[in-house]
Structure 1
Amino acid sequence: MAKLLNTSEIKACDASVKNKWNDAWPQKVVTVQLRQDNVDIKIGDHIKKIDVPGKAVCELCHDVINYGQKGVTSLLEYLFSASLVKVDSQAIFDEVDKFFTKHEIPWENLMSILMDSCNVMRGSKTGFETRVRESRAGHLLDIDGDSCHHIHNASKYFCRQFDRHVEGLHTTIFNDFKWSVDLRDMLKEICLILNIKYTMPDNMVLKALTSLDPTVKYHSKCATLLRKLPELVTNVLIDDKTDGYNAEVIKYHVDKALPATEKADGSRVRCDHYWAAVDKIKYPSLCKMVKALLSCFHGPQVESSFSNMGYTMDSKSNRMDIRTFSAIETVRYGQKATGKKSAAEIYEKGDVLHDIVDSTLCRKMRFAAKRHREAMEEEANAREEKRRRLDVAKSVVKSKKAHKEEEAKRASRSLKKHRENILRKLVERRKGKAKKARK
C-alpha cells in the first residue's frame, strides 16, 4: 500500500512528473457556502501526497488523484466530483443529494442546472433534473445551453414527415463528394478564384432520376424532371429530336393505360420491370433514355467484382488474360441471375437418356470452341511474325531436370577452375621463395 510522504521525499518522487507537487498546494484554500456562511477549506486537510509519482490520495474516501497532467486543478476539481459505478438518473441524484447534505448546502441556493440534453439528465419523467425539481428544488430556472441537441431533435422531428427522403438526399450528395475528392477540390479552387463561398452543390441528376419511379408518374414534378434528362445526360438522344421526346413525356404523364405499379399481393413493382412493360413503340425516345439510365452499373457489384478476382486469380494464375477473367465473371454473374449455383443445375435434365438435347446450348458451345481455336491461332501467328521480323531464333524450352543438370555442370567447372587457380598460385609462391633462397 502506498505511504504518505514528507516534504523531503516528495521532490525525489516527482522527478519524472510534468506537474510536480508544490508545497503551496496543501495551503490553498477553497471557499464553500454552507447554509448562509462562507467556509474556507484547505486542500491539505483532506488530500495528502503518496509515494507514487504524480499521485495523491483523499483521506476521506481513499480515492487516488492524478495531478501529473493538470496540477493543482485536478485537486480542486476532485473536491466537487464523484465516481459512480452505475450511471443513471437515480444514482446521480443520490450522489448530489449526499454532497449537499454532507456539506450542509441548502437546496434554496441552487438556481439552475446546466447539463447535457440526454434522457438521463433532462428526461421529462425520470431525468435527473426532474427528480431535483420534484423532490428538492421546485424553484429551478429552466435554462439549457445544449443548443446542438435541440437543433438535432428539431431537425429530426421536421424531417420525420418526409419518410427519410431528406436524409437520403443529403446522404447521397455527401457520398458523391466524399468519394469524388478531385471534383470537390476543383470546385473549391473555382470558388476561391471567383471569390465566392464554397458550398456543397445540389445534385440535379439524382433529383431528375427520381422521376423514373413508377409511383410518381402522375406527380406534377415528374414531367418537369423527365424533360430535364436530355440536358443532363447528353450522350443518349444524339440523333433523336428533343421536341419528340418532350411530346412523349407529356403523353406519358397523362396516359391512363400505363402498367400497374403494384402487384396482386400489394407489393411494389420494381422500377426496371415496370419500364420493361411500358409500350416502346408508343414512347421510343423516352424508353431509350430510361433504358440507358437504368443500365448504369451501381450498387455493391463493382466492389464485389474485385473480391471475386481474389477467388479467380491466385499465385498460380496471375498471368490470366483479361478476356478469360471477363468470361469467367460473365458466367458467374449469369449463375447468380438464375438463382442456381452451378452450370449442372442450370442445364439439368430430368431424364438423361430420353429428354431432348438443348440444340442452342450445343451450337453455342461449338461456336465458343471455334472462336477460342481461332484466337489461339491468331496469337501464335502474331508471335511468329514478330519473331521473324526481329530475326529472333525460336527458343527451346528446357525442362527443370535439364536446367538442374546444366547448373550442376556449370558449378563443377567453376569449382575445378577455382582449384586450378589456387594450385597455380601456390606453385608460383614456392618458386619465388626458392629464387630468394638461392640469391
Structure 2
Amino acid sequence: MSNLAARLDRLPISSFHRNLLIIIGGGMFFDGFDNYLANSVLSILIEENWSTLHLNACFLSGTSLGMLLGSIMAGYLGDKHGRKSTYQINLLIFGFASIACALTPDMYWLIFFRFLTGIGLGAEIVVGYGLLSEFIPPTHRGRWGALMSFIGQFGLFFVTFTSWLIIPLAGWRTMFVIAGLGGLLVYIARKQLPESPRWLSRKGRKQEAEIIVSNIENKYYQGNLPIPNTDNHSSLYIKPKISIFEPRFRKRIFLGSLMMVVQSISIYGFVAWLPSLMVSQGISANVSLTITVLMTLGGPTGAVFAYCLTDKIGRKPAIILGSLLAALSGILYALSSSQLYATLCGFVTFSLIYYLVSVIQAGYIPELFPTDVRMRLSAICVICGRISSIIMPFFVVLLYNYGGILMVTSLIAILLCIQAIAVYSLGIETYNKSLESI
C-alpha cells in the first residue's frame, strides 16, 4: 500500500481543502465569537451594576478553567477516539451552554454556565488546528493555518461590532444566543467532515484510511495527480507506538507551553480586559466599545500578515519578529496621550498579538508533534496557557491598581521578549517539511 501521508501531501490545493477550511473554520468562527464575547459584555455588566471587576475576573477565570478541562479532554479523546467525534462533542457543549448563559438570573449563574461553555471552547482549539494540519500539504500548511486563524479572529471583530450594534437595542443576553445557535448550526454542517487518514492509519484502520484518501483523489482530482514523494515520509503503519513521555519531546513541550503562556497572558492581559479598564478610567461603555471595535480589526489584519509571511520567511523568524514588534507597540499604547493615538497603537498591538496567534497556535504548535500524540501534546501546551489565563485576570487587577495600564503592558512586553529569545535558541524550523519528518 502506498504511503498515505505522501499521497495527502502531494495533493494540489482544491475545493476539498477549501470545503475542509469552511467546515472547520465555521466552528472556529463561533468559537472566537463566543470566546471574545467577554470583551464587550463584561463592560456592560459593570455599567449596569450587574457585576464588578472582581466578579468579571471570576467570569474570565471560570471560562479559562472550563477551557483548561476542555483542552485536557480534547487531547485525550482526540488521540484515542478520533478527531471527528471529539470535534462534534465540543460543539454541542458550547452551543447549549452559551444559550443557557442568556437565561441566567444573576452573575453567579452566568459564571457557572460560562465555565461549561469554556469546556467546549477549549476543545475546539486543540482539535481544529491539529486536524487541519493533517490534511494540508507542507508548502501551504502555514498559510492555511493563518487562514483558519483569520476566520477565528474575524469572530473577534464580528462579536465586537455586533455587540456595539445589538447590545444597546436588544441587550447583552442576545449575544450569547447568537453564539450558541451558531455553534449548533456548525454541528449539523460538520457531520460530513472526514476523519484524519493519518490518525486512522496509526490506529491500524488502514482500509478506512485508504477509502478516505482514494475518495478524495477520485472525487476532486479524477486520478490526475503527481507521483507521491516518499523520501521524507516514513510509513504510518510500521512505526512503533509513540509515548508522550519520550525525552525527545521535552524541549518542544517546553517551548510550546511557553509560547501558549505568553499568548494567553497577552490576550487576557490586554485584549480581554481593554473595555473594562477603559470604563474604570471613566470612559463610557459605548465609547469603549467603539474604540475596541476599531482596534479589533487588528485581529483579522494580523492573520493576513501571517498568511503572507509564515510560508515565506519560515516559522522561527516570523515568531521572533512578531514578538519584538508586539512588545514595542504595547508599551507605546500604554504611553498614548490621546484617544486617537491610543486607538492607532491599540490596533497595531491587536494586529501583532493575533499575528502571533496565527503563526504559533494555528501553525507551529501542531507541527511540533507526531500524529500519535499530536492532540495530547498540543493540549499540554494549551493547558499551560489556560492555567496562566486563570491566574492572569486577578493579576491584571493588582497590576492595574498599582501602576495602571503601563504596568500591565510592561509585563506583557517582557514576556514577549523572552518568547523571542526562547524561539531563537530552542525552536526548530518546520516550514515545508512533512509532518512525519519533523
State the TM-score bracket (shorter-chain normalisation): under 0.3
Higher relative contact order by CA 8 Å / sep ≥ 6: 1 or 2?
2
TM-score by length of 1: 0.20
Bigger share in helix: 2
Bigger share in strand: 1
